[in-house]
């Protein structure tokens, strides 16, 4: 895991966008794994600007990390809706080239298995973008998730329900379950870039980077990823004992 920090999150976003650009120029139909959440939004916006200026992102194949169980694709808080708005539409990608769990499938376990097999059918993920939850979760792998876990239905912890309640009018509307790529699935991505900004992520970043690799902190599994980059701003880096490299 290579950690890079910077005082200006824009620089870190440029760094990540450059890597996506380099990938798409090398391999126009690469499989790019998208994370939801507010952290990566500026990255998708930067890539949308590059697309508007002529960078062709339309051949990319897109995979999603997770989806709420029970939300239909057109629900404004569904992750399919997020990906459509921030990635597929602005980058000109055919929705048929995006693989996501079906949140409102009658059998969520079958939907999870189907999602995982579609990722494998594409030959796996070339570059996976990741965020981290304040409790150290990646995708919706909550503390206690096995490092060899696969895509499955999970129950969300109170901490995650609280963190995600800001997106819903009523806390009671926050879905209690999700379909998520497993930690093992994420570890198979050929390259991973995790973004974390702000003080609220400082404890998770420290536990992920400087604690032992433990299922109590699912993001610490990235210590075992062969090619993972962690891009953090100074606030997210503020509790690290060892100063990371600067961008
Ligand atoms: C959700 C998503 C994660 C994301 C996390 C952090 O839990 N399932 O993939 O990393 O939110 O979101 P934010 O970037 O908004 O802090």
Residue 216 DSSP one-character state: T
pLDDT at 76: 93
**CA-closest residue to ligand 1 atom 12:** 37
d(CA 234, CA 170): 33
Q: Could you identify the atom of ligand 1 that is nearest to the CA of residue 180?
A: 8
Nearest to 47 by CA among 91, 101, 100, 104: 91
Is the shortest distance between the CB of 160 and ligand 1 below 6 Å? yes
Label the pairing between strands 177-180 and 66-68. antiparallel
pLDDT at 184: 98
Coil vs helix vs strand at 148 = coil
pLDDT at 171: 85
Q: Which of 40, 100, 131, 165 to mutate to test the pocket of ligand 1 (most atoms within 8 A of CB)?
A: 131
Residues marked active site are found at: 66, 135, 137, 142
pLDDT at 197: 97
Is the shortest distance between the CB of 39 and ligand 1 below 6 Å? yes
d(CA 135, CA 143): 7
State in Å: Cα 208 to ligand 1 middle. 15
State in Å: Cα 16 to ligand 1 middle. 17
Beta pairing partners, 196: 232
Is the shortest distance between the CB of 128 and ligand 1 below 6 Å? no
Token pair 């819903």 in the structure block, residue: 168
State in Å: Cα 36 to ligand 1 middle. 6
Token pair 């794994």 in the structure block, residue: 33
State in Å: Cα 80 to ligand 1 middle. 14
Residues contacting 120, CB < 8 A, separation 6+: none
Is the shortest distance between the CB of 236 and ligand 1 below 6 Å? no
d(CA 107, CA 122): 23
Q: Which of 36, 38, 141, 179 to mutate to test the pocket of ligand 1 (most atoms within 8 A of CB)?
A: 36
Tokens of 71: 């939300």
pLDDT at 163: 87
Is the shortest distance between the CB of 116 and ligand 1 below 6 Å? no
d(CA 94, CA 96): 5
Cβ contact 37:141 at 8 Å: no
pLDDT at 70: 94
pLDDT at 60: 98
Tokens of 179: 């379909």
Is the shortest distance between the CB of 33 and ligand 1 below 6 Å? no
Q: Specify the pTM.
A: 0.96
d(CA 133, CA 145): 14
Q: Please, what are the averages of pLDDT over each run of 10 residues along the chain (247 residues)?
A: 95 97 98 97 98 98 97 93 97 97 96 97 98 96 97 95 90 93 98 97 98 98 98 97 91
State in Å: Cα 160 to ligand 1 middle. 9
**CA-closest residue to ligand 1 atom 11:** 37
């Amino acid at each position: 895991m290579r950690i890079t920090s910077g005082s200006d999150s824009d620089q870190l976003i440029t760094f990540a966008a450059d890597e996506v650009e380099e990938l798409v120029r090398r391999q126009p139909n690469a499989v790019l794994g998208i994370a939801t959440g507010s952290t990566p939004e500026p990255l998708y916006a930067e890539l949308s600007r590059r697309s508007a200026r002529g960078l062709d992102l339309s051949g990319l194949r897109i995979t999603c990390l997770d989806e709420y169980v029970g939300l239909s694709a057109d629900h404004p808080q569904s992750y399919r809706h997020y990906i459509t708005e921030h990635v597929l539409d602005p980058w000109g990608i055919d929705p048929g080239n995006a693989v996501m769990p079906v949140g409102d499938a009658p059998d969520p376990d079958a939907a999870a298995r189907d999602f995982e097999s579609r990722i494998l059918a594409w030959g796996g993920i070339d570059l996976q973008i990741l965020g981290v939850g304040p409790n150290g979760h990646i995708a919706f792998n909550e503390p206690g998730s096995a490092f060899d876990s696969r895509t499955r239905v999970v129950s969300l912890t109170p901490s995650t329900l609280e963190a995600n309640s800001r997106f819903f009018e009523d806390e009671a509307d926050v879905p209690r379950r999700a379909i998520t790529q497993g930690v093992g699935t994420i570890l198979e991505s050929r390259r991973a870039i995790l973004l974390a900004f702000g003080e609220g992520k400082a404890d998770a970043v420290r536990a992920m980077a400087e604690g032992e690799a433990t299922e109590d902190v699912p993001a610490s599994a990235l210590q075992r990823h062969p090619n993972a980059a962690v891009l953090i701003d100074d606030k997210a880096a503020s509790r690290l004992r060892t100063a990371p490299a600067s961008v």
